Structure 1
Amino acid sequence: MPLAALISAWRDDYTHHRPHTSLDGLTPWEYRQRSVEGQNPNRAN
């Protein structure tokens, strides 16, 4: 696999799939799902 593809895959995983402390330990996907369902009490409107 070319280096650029490896870096791109790492960046995607790091940004979108790992838990973020700024999102209370949730992944961006989990945070988005909870926001849609109205379950994020800290969410700024």
Structure 2
Amino acid sequence: MKNKNKTVSGTDIEQVKRLNAQSGLTYNEAKDLLAKQKAMKSNQGFKN
């Protein structure tokens, strides 16, 4: 009997999904956040 929630090697797919959801920012989210922070910092030099 094949368990559809596990890969051929035995990895629990649902557990991986749960852990990924709890892991924090994705690469693209982190990259966007850093870009926004850099833009805000560079704009502070133009304020009086």
Q: TM-score w.r.t. structure 2 length?
A: 0.35
Q: TM-score w.r.t. structure 1 length?
A: 0.37
Higher relative contact order (CA 8 A, sep 6+): 1
The structure having more radius of gyration, on CA atoms, is 2
